[in-house]
């Protein structure tokens, strides 16, 4: 009898392609032998890489980012993004997602709570330090709704520990890049 692979859905809401997206793609590649890998993403370079790499992709249609918008337009976009995240989360539930990995603060903010309420295992991945009382409060909420929190450094882990996040939830996975990474044309197309 053939064993059915568990599925991991990776959620990325950023259009830019920085270090977080490179690491996410490497994680997807590393897990593809043992899991069915899906990418839930806005139209981005990461989505193109994933589709070209043979991963299934769910398009979130419009970007979640709101840089450069006036305050009243940001409020409207936040509401629209929450509606989009609820619809996408329900779709993941219907697809019987086993685990959902949320890449970065913004994806975690929009998706963690609804996925947890739908009974889906949630992994959040923080790549940076963010300050401010509102941001700290939001981090506490995000971590409350997550099953596992991945961070990229001891500094980010310490920041979460200072917010009284359970240390057992936090796992440090460094963004180390092996030398052959820079010669791998599948990761960095030329």
**pLDDT category of residue 186 using cuts at 50, 70 and 90:** low
**pLDDT category of residue 157 using cuts at 50, 70 and 90:** very high
Mean pLDDT of the region 143-172: 92
Q: Which residues pair with 48 in a beta bridge?
A: none
* pLDDT tens digits along 78-134: 888 888 899 999 999 999 888 999 998 889 999 999 999 999 999 999 988 888 898
Instruction: Kindly give, in sequence order, each residue whose CB lies less than 8 Å from that of residue 32, ignoring residues fewer than 6 positions away.
Output: 55
Mean pLDDT of the region 159-180: 82
* Confidence (pTM): 0.84
**pLDDT category of residue 176 using cuts at 50, 70 and 90:** low
CA distances from 121 to 20, 30, 47 (A): 21, 20, 23
Q: Say what the pLDDT of residue 190 is.
A: 46
Q: What is the mean pLDDT of the chain?
A: 84
Task: List the domains of the chain with CATH numbers.
Answer: 6-183 (3.40.50.2000)
| Residue 141 reports pLDDT greater than 90 | yes
**pLDDT category of residue 18 using cuts at 50, 70 and 90:** confident
Instruction: Kindly give, in sequence order, each residue whose CB lies less than 8 Å from that of residue 153, ignoring residues fewer than 6 positions away.
Output: 172, 174
| Residue 10 reports pLDDT greater than 70 | yes
Q: Say what the pLDDT of residue 69 is.
A: 73
Distance spanning both ends of the chain, measured CA to CA: 42
CB 119 within 8 A of CB 29: no
H-only helix segments in 95-145: 105-117, 133-144
Strand order in the sheet with 99-103: 56-59, 35-41, 6-12, 99-103, 121-126, 148-151, 170-172
Q: Say what the pLDDT of residue 145 is.
A: 95
Q: Say what the pLDDT of residue 179 is.
A: 55
Which H or E run includes 59? strand 56-59
Share of the chain above pLDDT 90, in %: 36
């Amino acid at each position: 009898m053939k064993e059915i692979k568990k599925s991991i859905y990776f959620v990325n809401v950023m259009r830019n392609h920085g270090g977080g997206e490179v690491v996410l793609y490497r994680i997807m590649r590393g897990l593809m032998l043992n899991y069915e890998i899906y990418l839930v993403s806005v139209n981005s370079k990461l989505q193109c890489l994933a589709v070209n790499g043979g991963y299934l992709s769910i398009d979130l249609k419009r970007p979640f980012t709101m840089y450069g918008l006036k305050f009243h337009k940001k409020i409207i976009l936040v509401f629209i993004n929450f509606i989009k995240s609820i619809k996408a989360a329900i779709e993941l539930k219907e697809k019987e997602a086993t685990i959902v990995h949320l890449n970065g603060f913004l994806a975690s903010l929009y998706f963690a709570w609804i996925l947890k309420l739908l009974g889906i295992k949630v992994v959040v991945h923080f790549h940076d330090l963010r300050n401010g009382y509102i941001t700290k409060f939001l981090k506490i909420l995000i971590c409350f709704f997550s099953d596992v929190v991945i961070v990229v450094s001891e500094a980010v882990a310490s920041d979460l520990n200072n917010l009284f996040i359970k240390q057992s939830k936090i796992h440090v996975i460094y963004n180390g890049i092996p030398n052959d990474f820079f010669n791998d044309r599948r990761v960095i197309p030329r």
